[in-house]
Amino acid sequence: MKVRVLGSAAGGGFPQWNCNCPNCDGLRRGTLRATARTQSSIAVSGDEENWLLINASPDVLQQIQGFPALQPARALRDTGIRAILLIDAQIDHTTGLYMLREHRQRHAVWCTRQVREDLTAGNPLFGLLEHYCGIDWQEICLTGAGFTPDGVPGIRIEAQALTSNAPPYSPHRDRPEPGDNIGLTLTDARSGRRLFYAPGLGEMEPEVWRAMQAANVVLVDGTLWTDDEMIRLGASGKTSRSMGHLPQSGPGGMIEWLDQLPSTTRKVLIHINNTNPILGEDSPERDELSRHGIEVAWDGMEIVL
């Protein structure tokens, strides 16, 4: 199983178009050693020919251009994407579907009932796409034994409900339901090796922790360094946890949890907000992650299991 990180940033990307925080300003001026990033998405394949796109970022066209396996050019109109899976209904994980509207058949889109409702009512993306290629909805059930999307052989997927938050336009905003946000365990059918993926994780619950402990690789929420990061910068009045993201540092933060995983587990952070100091490759915060054996995902990173 190969996992390709298409985008590693949180919503808005890095640098964010209207942001002049120390990170965004430093990258533009060339005074910060850092790498630009698009909004978070990954692609997964069991045979490196048929790919599952997990989240459709607004940057999806740039991401496809940067990864030729998704455009194998076998015909006049072609794609390596055989199915799409959405872990939530957030703008930065779904609106790339607009850019994929020229598909020659209906997109097979896997998501929970709650995400489908949000993308039918609050943000009627699914209805709009009926005027173009259309959507064949495949329901992700949280009580099932797992599934393999049609056309993407060699990978088994299990979903876990996460405590995070629904989009601002959702009726579940600040009152999340199981299914608004999910994490995924991706298992290679041949080797049995597992990757746990959760770019939005606001609370460590027993089922999620068990899935992380059983994984060979965890690719998890790296949005903010401190709980009050956005407040201190004047960028928002909300804490990291209230937005549905465990901060990396501090008591009960992501670093503390990752330190408890087996020493053989590969630990990678994704969905990095533009304000997070770990984007600075020479920063003390990046050095601290290195001391804990934690990596920071980058666009184009590949993980093979």
- Give the tens place of pLDDT for each residue, 170-213: 888 888 888 999 999 999 999 999 999 999 999 999 999 999 99
pLDDT at 165: 78
Categorize the per-residue pLDDT at 251 as very low, low, confident or very high, splitting at 50, 70 and 90: very high
Q: Give residues with Cβ within 8 angstroms of 148, minimum separation 6.
A: 155, 156, 157, 189
Rounded Cα distance between 190 and 197, Å, is: 19
Residue 160 has what pLDDT? 94
Q: What are the DSSP E strand ranges found in the chain?
A: 2-7, 41-45, 51-54, 81-85, 107-111, 135-139, 155-161, 182-188, 194-198, 217-221, 266-270, 294-296, 302-304
134 in helix, strand or coil?
coil
For residues 101-128, average pLDDT: 95
**pLDDT value, residue 163:** 84
What integer pLDDT is reported at residue 164 of this predicted model? Answer: 78
In this structure, is the dihedral angle defined by the CA atoms of residues 195, 170, 206 and 267, taken in order, positive or negative? Answer: positive
pLDDT tens per residue, range 4-34? 999 999 999 999 999 999 999 999 999 999 9
pLDDT of amino acid 234 = 94
Mean pLDDT along residues 111-122: 95
pLDDT greater than 80 at residue 144: no
What does the pLDDT average to over 269-298? Answer: 98
Looking at the DSSP bridge assignments, the partners of residue 36 are none
Given this model, what pLDDT does residue 168 score? 86
Query: 143 falls in which pLDDT band (50, 70, 90)?
Result: confident
pTM surpassing 0.85? yes
Look over the chain and give the mean of its residue pLDDT values, rounded to a whole number.
96
Above 90 in pLDDT, residue 145?
no
